[in-house]
Amino acid sequence: MASKQPNLFAFPSVPQLASTLRTYILTAQAAGLQRHNSFKIAVSGGSLPKTLAQALLQPGSGTEDEVQWDKWEIFFADERAVPLDHEDSNYALLKKELLDKIEGEKMPVVYPIDVRFQDDVQEMADQYEQLLVRSFASRDSVKLPIFDLLLLGCGPDGHTCSLFPSHPLLRETDAWVSPISDSPKPPPKRITLSLPVVTHGVKIAFIATGGGKKEIMKEIFEKGNGLPCALVNEGAGERCSWFVDEAAVQGVVFPRKGSL
Ligand SMILES: O=C1O[C@H](COP(=O)(O)O)[C@@H](O)[C@H](O)[C@H]1O
């Protein structure tokens, strides 16, 4: 259990949220570049890529405010076991909303799943874990990979990545990447980063917008109830920040932070 509370930033509108999210991401980028001359992030699917595009595709206002795409290494916090051009693919969504719209020649390195293992999600998870091992150094010497930043969504049931409420995967302590074949949200077959990998990130940011999230936000911040998003809050504490619009936290009494 982390000692300090997560940060909750609430904005009147999504464009205002996106603008502060950009500053937050670029601060994390600068820290990553200083640490290892690259920026290693994990991203979710769902509603996140669209907001991310709003944050990152706006023109920068100077050197400190530039996205250094060629230094980015993008991994997936979770992915569905479908072809990369399938409408359920988180990669396809990120490509459509963000990657295809990046201008210029400097592009991020993106690590999609290996779809050859689409019918065997255990093998797919093992392969993705090996990819992380190669990128984050040997699994023997590194207990857990440390992402510079994880950008996550929050489902209306409190799930994040493909970690669902009350699912046994929430108790995974060994694997970095786990398969799931019974996702309550379709499609059923997926892979996901494990909870210890998520909470081990240097920074973890949730993005949640819209009134459809307000009931679950209340539960996450006021009761916890072992919900996956609440477990990330508890495990990461002040390293975890929430970027939400007012609609998503209407009626939530948890104190907001004024600035980054
Ligand atoms: O199934 C998934 O859902 C979550 C939440 O999606 P949202 O549309 O409610 O933001 C998403 O973060 C995850 O990557 C995805 O696979």
Specify whether the CB–CB gap between 124 and 131 falls below 8 A: no
The Cα 161–Cα 150 span in angstroms is: 10
CA of 47 to the centre of ligand 1 (A): 7
Neighbours of 100 (CB within 10 A): 9
The Cα 58–Cα 245 span in angstroms is: 19
What's the confidence (pLDDT) of residue 208? 98
Q: Is the CB of 185 under 6 A from ligand 1?
A: yes
Would you state the structure tokens that stand for residue 115, as one six-digit string?
């779809």
Domain ranges of the chain: 9-52+72-249
Q: Is the CB of 45 under 6 A from ligand 1?
A: yes
**What's at 250, amino acid-wise?**
Q
Residue with tokens 């019974």: 182
Q: Is the CB of 162 under 6 A from ligand 1?
A: yes
| Closest-lying ligand 1 atom to the alpha carbon of residue 183 | 1
Contacts of 64 (CB under 8 A, 6+ apart): 26, 30
The Cα 16–Cα 55 span in angstroms is: 9
**What's at 31, amino acid-wise?**
A
Specify whether the CB–CB gap between 158 and 220 falls below 8 A: yes
What's the confidence (pLDDT) of residue 1? 63
Nearest CA owner, ligand 1 atom 3: 46
The Cα 32–Cα 40 span in angstroms is: 7
- φ and ψ of 180, to 5 deg: -140, 135
The residues that bridge with 226 in the sheet, in sequence order, are: none
The Cα 45–Cα 57 span in angstroms is: 18
Query: Is 233 exposed, middle or buried (CB count within 10 Å of its CB: 0-12, 13-18, 19+)?
Result: buried
The Cα 209–Cα 242 span in angstroms is: 10
Nearest CA owner, ligand 1 atom 8: 46
The Cα 247–Cα 201 span in angstroms is: 28
Query: Is 254 exposed, middle or buried (CB count within 10 Å of its CB: 0-12, 13-18, 19+)?
Result: middle
The Cα 130–Cα 17 span in angstroms is: 35
The Cα 26–Cα 52 span in angstroms is: 12
Phi-psi region of 230 (alpha: psi -120 to 50; beta: other; left: phi over 0): alpha
What's the confidence (pLDDT) of residue 2? 65
What's the confidence (pLDDT) of residue 138? 65
Nearest CA owner, ligand 1 atom 6: 46
> Could you tell me the pTM of the whole model?
0.97
Would you state the structure tokens that stand for residue 78, as one six-digit string?
């979770």
Residues of the chain with pLDDT under 70: 1-3, 138-141
Listed residue (158, 147, 138) closest to 236, CA to CA: 147
Which fold is adopted by the domain 9-52+72-249? Rossmann fold (3.40.50)
